[in-house]
Amino acid sequence: MDAAHPPSPAAPAVRTVTVAPGLASDAVERVGWVLRLAMLVLVGLLVLLTTRSADALGWVLLLAVAALPAWTYHRLLAPLGRLAEVLVTALGASSIAVAGTGSTASALLPYLAVPIVVPALLGRRRESLVLLGVGAGALIGLGAADGLFADATYPLAVAEWLAIAGFAAGFLLVVPHRFHRPPAPAPAPYAEATRLLTQLRTVARRLPGATLDPGGIAEHLIEEAMKAQPAIDRAAVLAGSGGGRLVVLAQAAADRVDWETSLDADSAIAEAWASQLPQLSGRSQTRSGARAEVTSLVVPLVAGVRTVGVLALEADRSGAFAPPTISRLLALSEPAALRLEAALLFDEVRSLATNEERQRLAREIHDGVAQELVMVGYGLDNAIAALPEGADESGEQLRALRGEVTRVITDLRMSLFELRSEVDRHGGLAAAISDYARWVGSTGGLRVHFEIEETPARLPSSVEAELMRIAHEAINNARRHSGAQNLYISVEVDPPYARIEVADDGAGIGPNRPEGRLGLAIMAERAERIRGQLHITPRAAGGTSVAVVLGGPPASRPARATGPSGEAGRPTAATDPGRGGAPE
């Protein structure tokens, strides 16, 4: 034995039993035990009733002893035990027939099915055939030696029970294999994911307009609905967002309206979502105030068995939606539901992939570059401490280099915080932006002012994520390049409208400020992805204002000319860097 591989301790023996399709080994054991016990009791009663002699029960006891090795399911002892059962059955049947008549052999012959059927349950066809042949040969040979064939009842009894045992074994061998279809092997998770994503990419390229934008699909559905019924005054498409609330994907109205988005409210929107049936109501589905006369129609957008959204329509008159109009709108909703479901699923997959990639990058930066820079900083500290006296110039250079390393490490930490930041389902967009701004202000020495106007309704998660990333980039640009002391942040969310503004009192953006140009381009790309508009303007009191606007402003509110970036701004909360980011 190789000395490099010492013998391992003896492992406990593992019993492996190959069984017929659809049967487990423990099930075969239980069937074998029950079958043997039942047959022993049965043949014992038959022998006692047929021979009326207790001496004949000795053959039943011999069968029980012969069956003992078969109970072990040992690869060698179990087949020998079944062979012994066949031979004892043949000897006992012929002996009973000699003592009585040929027909009395039928008292013990039923047990012959046990050792022949059990191998069939285990899928051992050859053993069943061999035992059947051994049993037939033993019964014929013993019968011929004892002259039992002179009585026609003996060969009939032998043929009857041999046929029963053979047919039973053949049924168990043939039928399960014929009708059992082994389950298809499950594909590897990554291989299956690759196949599905490849198909998704191919299908997405073939879609009309090559778009899977939920907002664009919702706007198109509203346009088609208004063509079908020009009398519609307000319309919106709402989709599920979790937490028992809906999000407004798109809407059309003369004034900005606040739609009922709670699925727990007593509204036609909630009823249509739950019942998957169109709901016609004489009550408005908005929270924007009572109207004298209104007719609302809510059409559920159902894809298969799943409700993916609702189309809410209102007209400021009674009887606006006649049955033919409702039928046309239902016909429009069916294909739109499929398109919207595909867009929402694609959006979810893209968000999951993006978040996972951001987490992976954060881990790699933290475990790689960040740790190495920390070690560089420690090395510089040791070098500064080891400088001899009089090396003032070298000391100044090393301290400047140490300060630069510290700055880079701080930037990396902020990047890690940004990569790991997500919009919490319960906190909302404003909370996510304010948390990040407080952290940046406390680490960067900035005083942060907030102005927040946020309704309970939520934007789609993918839109909230893009708006948060735009705000992060604007905050970072102000910290890194503006030299500002104050940061003014305004968050206004009234789905599907949103406006995020980040302003500073720094140097502003001009021809002498090439820094941050890549960040501005990234913000513009993100805004375009969610069909928003990015506005970068000088601040009246000095500095720069970066604002991203999604949708049209609420008509019930005056348009803000400068907001928090100008003199008219009214900060409602401020964060002092000296107080650890706590709002004043």
Q: Which pTM value belongs to this model?
A: 0.49
Summarize the confidence of residues 119-133 as an average pLDDT: 84
Q: What is the pLDDT of residues 5-59, one digit of tens each?
A: 444 444 444 444 444 454 555 566 677 778 888 888 888 888 888 888 778 888 8
**What is the per-residue pLDDT for 499?**
92
Q: What is the pLDDT of residues 346-385, one digit of tens each?
A: 777 777 777 777 778 778 877 778 788 888 888 888 888 8
**What is the per-residue pLDDT for 277?**
92
Q: How many residues does the chain have?
A: 584
Cβ neighbours around 48 below 10 Å, total:
15
pLDDT at 431 over 60: yes
Residue 82, Cα to own-chain centre: how many angstroms?
51
Rounded alpha-carbon distances, angstroms, from residue 102 to 59, 106, 145, 409, 556? 17, 8, 14, 101, 107
Which pLDDT band holds residue 168 (cuts at 50, 70, 90)? confident
pLDDT at 422 over 80: no
List the single range of 434-443, 451-460, 509-518 with lowest mean pLDDT. Answer: 509-518
Q: What is the pLDDT of residues 451-467, one digit of tens each?
A: 988 877 778 777 888 88
Higher pLDDT, 563 or 296: 296
**What is the per-residue pLDDT for 15?**
43
**What is the per-residue pLDDT for 553?**
58
Common-topology check for domains 214-340 and 427-584 = no
pLDDT at 438 over 70: yes
Q: What is the pLDDT of residues 519-535, one digit of tens each?
A: 788 888 888 877 788 99
Handedness of CA 31, 32, 35, 37 (dihedral sign): negative
List the single range of 182-191, 301-310, 326-335 with lowest mean pLDDT. Answer: 182-191
Rounded alpha-carbon distances, angstroms, from residue 32 to 47, 77, 110, 470? 22, 15, 15, 71
- The tokens describing 60, both together, are 């039943």
User: CATH fold of 427-584, please?
Assistant: Heat Shock Protein 90 (3.30.565)
CATH code for the part of the protein at 214-340:
3.30.450.40
Segments making up each domain of the chain, as ranges? 25-179, 214-340, 427-584
How far apart, in whole angstroms, are the C-alpha atoms of residue 500 and residue 492?
A: 6
**What is the per-residue pLDDT for 583?**
34
Q: What is the pLDDT of residues 284-330, one digit of tens each?
A: 888 766 667 888 999 999 988 889 999 999 998 888 888 888 899 99
